[in-house]
Amino acid sequence: MNLKKIIAGAKGSNNGVYRTASMRSMILACATSGGKNIFMMLMMYSSYIANAGFGVLVAVTGIIMTVKTIFDGVCDPFVAAIFDRMPAGKHGKMRKFLAIGYGSTIIAAILMFSILVNKFDGVMGIVVFCLVYAFFVIGYTVLSIGGTTIPTILTNDPKQRPFMNFTATLYQYLAPLIVNNLMAFTILPRHNNQYDAACLGEACYLFCGVALVFMILTFIGIAPVDNDKVLGELMSLSGKKQKVGIKEMWNMLKVNKPLRCYIVAGASDKLATKMSTDSVVTVMLTGILIANY
């Protein structure tokens, strides 16, 4: 990786053909990558709170996590179709979409780790936990799809894309570093280094607060392009606005065999990775079977 070349490319091609963005906008807009990673880090503790706060058995929690991954994939095309059809009004649509995503994930996280903890158990505990988790997955999907569109809408200059990818990657490492260190050196010591319900409840508010900061940075970065003029031009072809729905997605999937192969490979890899690295699997393997965590 030529870092000097990537940073130099942030200035753009100086070609009127392309739509370029300022370095400030690109740096701030990519902050959503950090926000998504914070929620992903928080949900790594969901198996703990499921057991400690909702009375869900460890084996059942593993099944729920697997079903959650499948449900996440099913939600994606429907949320993408909704995003495409959302009108770009006075305040744009990217910020509204991201606000819905951030808001939903924060509400679901607080319900899961704080408000509903120790309120239900048995079958009712499983049902409530699954409903809250489903709500989180939908919100996280909205957040992910809204964030994925940012580089495309902010700039189409090929020289600026590597810089945006580089910046997004920095946020993906920076965000977990911040919350994990705060967790390790401020929250865990106050709870005798135990991942109990009280500890995770406090961590939830910390994670959500840091994610909110990343959301604000993103909003500032995308403000110059999140308007009807820019989005209207991007959504139009030959003077007409094009809407992509489930029917168009299905037709593309039906005639494009390489795309089907790519989706199957990506989905199976993600499912396998999720199942093998989930915290409940790690604990059962090293802590219970090997007896040396």
Instruction: Take residue 164 and report the two structure tokens written for it.
Output: 């945006």
What whole-number distance in Å separates Cα of residue 125 and Cα of residue 118? 9
| Banded model confidence at residue 237, pLDDT cuts 50, 70, 90 | very low
* Any domain includes 257: no
* Any domain includes 37: yes
Residue 103 has pLDDT above 90, yes or no: yes
What whole-number distance in Å separates Cα of residue 205 and Cα of residue 179? 11
Report phi then psi at 30, rounded to 5. Answer: -70, -5
Domain that holds residue 138: 22-239
> Higher confidence at residue 86 or residue 205?
205
* Any domain includes 52: yes
* Any domain includes 168: yes
Please answer whether residues 31 and 218 qualify as being in contact, where contact means their C-beta atoms are separated by less than 8 angstroms: yes
Instruction: Take residue 120 and report the two structure tokens written for it.
Output: 């239900």
- Kindly compute the dihedral angle of the four CA atoms of residues 21, 23, 28, 31, in this order, to the nearest 10 degrees: 90
> Higher confidence at residue 79 or residue 91?
79
Q: Whose CA is closest to 279, among 58, 102, 114?
A: 58
pTM metric for this prediction: 0.81
* Any domain includes 279: no
pLDDT of residue 238: 42
Instruction: Take residue 72 and report the two structure tokens written for it.
Output: 């996440």
| pLDDT, mean over the chain | 84
Residue 242 has pLDDT above 80, yes or no: no
Report phi then psi at 237, rounded to 5. Answer: -145, 120
CATH number, domain of 29, equals 1.20.1250.20
Please answer whether residues 160 and 26 qualify as being in contact, where contact means their C-beta atoms are separated by less than 8 angstroms: yes
* Any domain includes 92: yes
Instruction: Count the domains in the chain.
Output: 1
* Any domain includes 132: yes
* Any domain includes 150: yes
Instruction: Take residue 279 and report the two structure tokens written for it.
Output: 């915290």
